Structures are given as C-alpha cells and as structure tokens.
Structure 1
Amino acid sequence: MFYLLNILIQMKILLDNSSLYKSLRPFNDLGFVPTMGGIHKGHLSLINKSNRLCKITIVSIFINPKQFNNKKDLKSYPRNINKDLKILKKTKKVDFVYLPRFKDIYENKNKSKIKLNKKDIILCAKYRKGHFEGVLDVMERLTKIVRPKKIFMGEKDFQQLYLVKKRLEKKYKAKIIPCKTVRDKNNIALSSRNFHLNKLNFEVAANIYKQLVNIKKNIKKKKNILNFLNHKKRELINNYKIKIDYLELRNKKNLKTSKKMNNSRLFIAYYLNNVRLIDNI
C-alpha cells in the first residue's frame, strides 16, 4: 500500500469512507467516473468529459462481486491496480481515486431489494441473471457515499446506462451523463475484457463489427426485420464459429423491440475465447 501512496503526487488516493468524506466535504461540483479497473482510453474519455463539465473529478476502482453471475468471470477479471493508478496519474485530470474495500461499500448489510421489471429482463439481463440487480445496488451505494453532481458512463454498456439512469436520477440529485463508445483502430469497442483476447480474436471482432455495420445499413430495406436478424445471426455463428446471446434492434429511448431504424440501435452479445463481448451501433 505504501507503494501506491508513493506514486500518487497530485492525485489523492482515498482508501476508506472516512478519508473520502473528509476529503470531499469542501466540494459540491463532483464529477464521478465509476470503474472496475482495467483502465483504458474509454475510461479516459469519461474523465475528460468530467473535467470539462465539473470542477473536481473522482474515479473509483472497485470490482463488485455482486454483479458477476459467473464465478469464473469474477476470478479472471483483469486486476492491475498499480498500472491503473499510473495511467490515471499521468492524465493529470483526476483529483481523487477511491479504492474502497468491500466493507466500505457494503457497510449496510441489508439485502438489496432491487428487482428488475419484467420488461427490463431483455438483452444482457436475460442472459446474466442477477447482474443488473448487482450493478444497480452498487451504483446506489456508491452514489450515496460519493454524492456526485454528475456520473459519467459509457454507451458501450447501453442497457446498464439506461437502467442506472432510470433508477438513480429519480432518487438522487446526480445527473447521469452518457459518453460515446471509444473504439480502437479496427473499430472494436474498448473494454477491460479485451485484455483476454488474442490476435486472432481481435481480427474476428473487427470483422464482426464490419458485419454489424452492413446489417444496420440493410435493415431499412427489409420488411421483416426479425427474420432478417435471425438469418444474420445464424450467418455470424456459422462463419465465425461463435456463440451469440442476442442480435437485436431496439429503440434507444425505451429499449423496446424496434421495427424501424430511426431512433434505434443494433445490439449484440457474443463470445470470443470464452470472453463475453457486447456492442451496439
């Protein structure tokens, strides 16, 4: 832990709730970027936006065990706190980093009463039982602790963004700020999970993105969008030997199944090298 403190000069690290409350007390214009580590350019774009809109930026790094529906996924999730802190310090745009312990977040041991509405059990919620209940629970707890004015979240996890925004903005004063998906040179959406992909996986992911763009272009020409997407889903599975959870067109305002391209997004979740990837365009 002393090593962590030594590499932080301008950026202040907060190791528990007591130091957080004391440090943040003077500020009322906080921009909050919640992360589970594995910091990449997508996270940095959130930090940049927070810097533009808020006086103070705080980043949290907390791998929340309660949002993993698969124990193997939790165990293999990328962890390199020293690397993450070096990246954050280098930006010179982060004022505070919050590294809570499990007991700091879950000091209130009351069991979460969060339950998704039936209409929200779609896309990832349909395939990852308990995942979003865990996400919403930890986001509520973090919001109560940090008390930010604005929370910055990426559009890559669009369903997560939608659910968090719908729940938190009704209950708290914090405003959820959507941020565009950041992609690499091959248009693959940046994700901490990408650390588990090999060169061949990246080539496949790049091709799948190209296919998604073509599918989206051709949707407007199709009378039966559902049949068209089912056909394209089978094509992707056969051509790239991948498992796909879903390939769906949904309205971006309410996530209802859509029959037209206007105000809609194409959503996909698939597996490469046993790594679950999501995207939407």
Structure 2
Amino acid sequence: MKIFKSKSDLKIYLAEEKKKGNRIGFVPTMGALHEGHLSLVEKAIRKTDTTVVSIFVNPTQFDNKEDLDKYPKTFENDVALLESVNCDVLFYPSVDEIYDENVIAEKFDFDGLEHQMEGKFRDGHFDGVGTIVKALFEIVEPDVAYFGKKDFQQLQIIKKLVEKYNIPVKIKGMPIFREKDGLAMSSRNARLTKEHREAAPFIHKILKKARKKTGTKNAKEIIEWVENQFKQHPLLELEYFTIAEEKTLISAEKFEPKKRYRAFIAVFAGKIRLIDNIRFKNN
C-alpha cells in the first residue's frame, strides 16, 4: 500500500493510474478504523481498479473541541487493517496540507437538509463536512465514493453537494455495519465505559420495536413511545428521535403513501454521543 501525505504527490500518482484506464474508488475516513470502514474499502476494491482511503480528522466539523481532542487516533493499527484487505493507497494529510493554515469551513446551502436533525444540535457541522468532502473530491477525483448509511443525513448532504457543484463522482451508500448485539459500529464506541457499552445495544433494539409499530401507530405516537422508553433508562439519555422522509429529511407526524421514511436517533451514553437510524416500512 502506498502512503501519501502530500496532495500534489497523490494527484500525480492518481493521474498516472487514470492514464492506465483505472477507475478510482474512494473511502474518506477519520481513522480509528473498524470492520464497518473495511466493508466500504472491500466494496471499493471489488468494484473499482485503484482504491484510495483517506484518514483525516477534520477540525471544522467538530462543534465540541473536547470531542475533537479525544477523537481516537490509531494510525499504526489503521495501516495494518488497510494492508490486510489489500488497499492500494492511503492519503494521510496534515491539517495544514488541507487548509493551508486557514482552518475555516466554507458556507454551504444544501437546500435545507443541513437544518434537520444533526444540524439542530451540531452548529456548523455540515459546513465542515461539505468543506472537507469537497476538498478531498478535488484532490482524489474519484469515479466512485463509498459512505456508510449510519450517517444517513451526511450521505444525503454529500449527494446534494455533488449535485449542486457538478462534481463527477458517483456516491454509493452502504448498509450500516453492526456489532453482533446490534450496536452500530463507530470509532466512538471504543470510548464507551464497560457499563455504557453493555447498555448501548438498547438503541437498536428500540429502533426495531419502533419500526414494528408503523402498522398501528402514526409517527407522532411512535416518537412519544420512544421518548418514554428512554426516560425509563438509567444509563442512556435521548437527545432526539425523529421519523423523517428520506429525500427531504423533514420530520413527519403521519405516514403518507409512496414516501420512504427513516427513523433517526441520537443518544448520550455518558459523555459519548451515539447516532443510529433505521428505514421504516410504510404500510
């Protein structure tokens, strides 16, 4: 696996790959890799000719400096994992390499997608996401980029970014990769205490139970039921639960035919914030 820290060196290398007719697959990450990340990398390897993974903890998408400072950094282990699946290229730039000492996010208009759910609780988060993803797409110039559906709102925003800026890349959303007990895989899971790790699968369990209620309850009633379940939980604190239409991400109170809905949740397990989502069947 080739490792690049310089965006100019990476661009020169990838230009040669494209001259050979190789299609570039891209998986942007913030490191602390786990099996969920590797499933994206393996998909890129199967479907494209040259697979690039980036590891960059992007400062402009963190509204909480403590969260940025404590974000797990496991570079040597990440390299070993990527080599184990035969990844072709790792891009591992510094903050200065990406931002040229001007660590400020651009401002974006994502047609309102950025104001829903996470946007209500994480000020400026999606401006930071848009800034780094746009920059990485300009550097790597991939044919296909792979993202997990755990960050479904982010996935929709990246699709909107590509559409609005006419970026020639195909965006592929991949299924949520889960632990055996149902907890959505996340780099933040490593920071959970033993007690909170044991409690955390409750999140997915509640999502599945909520989905089963779509035949008999409207969205508003399901939301109230979920909120009550978390009020009774001694270790997990619900930040939000909403049911939204997939395309617009606008919250719904009732289900309309021919629309696709998804439930979104954010929960604090101690100081660690966990998010998850699940598609609802619209009966």
TM-score, with normalisation over the residues of structure 2? 0.90
Tell whether 2:168 aligns with 1:173: yes
Query: 8 Å contact 1:150–1:177 — kept in the other structure?
Result: yes
Paired residue secondary structure (2:37): helix
1:55/1:118 CA distance change after superposition, 3 Å: closer
C-alpha distance after superposition, 1:205-242 (max 9, x if no partner): 112321221111013201x4213312321321322443
Residue in structure 2 matching 1:249, options 243, 247, 254? 243
Distance in 1 between residues matched to 2:174 and 2:113, nearest whole Å: 25
1:111/1:80 CA distance change after superposition, 3 Å: closer
Match of 2:271 in 1: 274
Match of 2:118 in 1: 124
Deviation at 1:115?
4.2
Query: 8 Å contact 1:152–1:178 — kept in the other structure?
Result: yes
Tell whether 2:14 aligns with 1:20: no
Deviation at 1:117?
4.4
Deviation at 1:86?
1.0
Q: Which shows bigger deviation, 24-33 or 37-46?
A: 24-33
**Structure 2 unaligned blocks of 5 or more:** 279-283
The amino acid of 1:265's aligned partner reads R
Match of 2:178 in 1: 183
Residue in structure 1 matching 2:260, options 259, 263, 268? 263
Match of 2:127 in 1: 133
The amino acid of 1:34's aligned partner reads P
Paired residue secondary structure (1:239): coil
Paired residue secondary structure (1:156): helix
* Cα RMSD (Å): 1.8
The amino acid of 2:242's aligned partner reads E
The amino acid of 2:176's aligned partner reads T
Query: 8 Å contact 1:220–1:260 — kept in the other structure?
Result: no
Paired residue secondary structure (1:280): strand
Deviation at 1:202?
2.2
C-alpha distance after superposition, 1:160-195 (max 9, x if no partner): 000011112342001111111000110110000001
Tell whether 2:138 aligns with 1:156: no
Match of 2:204 in 1: 209
Deviation at 1:111?
6.0
Distance in 2 between residues matched to 1:220 and 1:121, nearest whole Å: 29
Match of 2:91 in 1: 98
Residues 27-176 of structure 1 correspond to what in structure 2 (within 5 A)? 27-28=17-18, 29-92=23-86, 94-107=87-100, 109=102, 112-118=106-112, 120-170=114-164, 171-176=166-171
**Structure 1 unaligned blocks of 5 or more:** 1-10
Deviation at 1:108?
8.6
Query: 8 Å contact 2:42–2:85 — kept in the other structure?
Result: no
TM-score, with normalisation over the residues of structure 1? 0.90
1:119/1:85 CA distance change after superposition, 3 Å: closer
The amino acid of 1:249's aligned partner reads I
Match of 1:6 in 2: none
Identity %: 36
Paired residue secondary structure (2:145): strand
Paired residue secondary structure (2:216): coil
Match of 1:194 in 2: 189
The amino acid of 2:16's aligned partner reads P
Paired residue secondary structure (1:25): helix
